[in-house]
Amino acid sequence: MEFLEFEGKTTEEAIQHACEYYQVSPEKLEIEIVTVGSPGIFGLGSRKARVRVTRREEAEPDLKSLGQELLEKFLEKMGECGKVSGHQEDDRLYLSIDTEEAGLLIGKQGQTLEALQYLLTKMLVKKSRRKVRLAIDIESYRARHQQNLSQLALRYGEKVKKSGRPVTLNPMNPHDRRIIHLTLQDDKDLKTMSRGEGLYKKVVIYPARKKELQGANPGLA
């Protein structure tokens, strides 16, 4: 830790100068008194007080506990009842909501769940002051959703192979598009690419022998 020295007519004044420098209260500072101030006699032999100061190292917050607490408060403000559980793997935090109102919290095509996850991620990053990767699930929705997307990709992949013509899927968010791409990436008869602008793009599935469609963006975008 790097200490800085501050002076004042009294110890209290020197500490006050340190607080103004760090813009925190004394409780958040590590303070070492070097000399105690003395007014001297008739102004002669006066001596300033000196302190050595550094900011206290704050304990890193428990990400899982913080995430659970924030999500429970979020649900409470939304007027929804639910029990939150979770586990952490390095900078990845997984939270699960057990509720009777799963459909309302998931929303159409998971849009409400995605919005909730986005907002909570922002809150966690701000409070923990570190990178956070958050996944919120409700009643195993994400596992079922991923399975449904994989089946969708396989089904349309077979359609493309039989017809020899490309198929364009409905607009999807980056996470869902990635599932489509990964599901078909090992099929040598098929290629996939993303097309469009913005967050929601369309995935195009086409025969591998076909040239890439004009204006498309190949890859896992």
pLDDT tens-digit map of 22-72:
999 998 899 999 998 777 565 566 788 999 999 887 766 788 999 999 999
63-139: which CATH topology?
Answer: GMP Synthetase; Chain A, domain 3 (3.30.300)
Query: Is the separation of the CB atoms in 80 and 121 below 8 Å?
Result: no
Span between the terminal Cα atoms of the chain, in Å: 44
Q: H/E element holding 190?
A: strand 190-195
Alpha-carbon dihedral angle through residues 146, 147, 149, 153, given to the nearest 10 degrees: 130
Spatial CB neighbours of 110, under 8 Å, sequence gap ≥ 6:
141, 142, 145
**pTM for this predicted structure:** 0.57
Edge-to-edge strand ranges of the sheet holding 190-195:
167-168, 202-207, 190-195, 217-218
Q: What is the pLDDT of residues 159-216, one digit of tens each?
A: 999 999 999 999 998 889 999 999 999 999 999 999 999 888 999 999 997 554 444 4
Region(s) of the chain under CATH 3.30.300.20: 63-139
Token pair listed for 182? 């990964």
What confidence score (pLDDT) does residue 42 get? 58
Q: Is the pLDDT of residue 88 over 70?
A: yes
Region(s) of the chain under CATH 3.30.1370.50: 144-211
What is the CATH code for 144-211? 3.30.1370.50
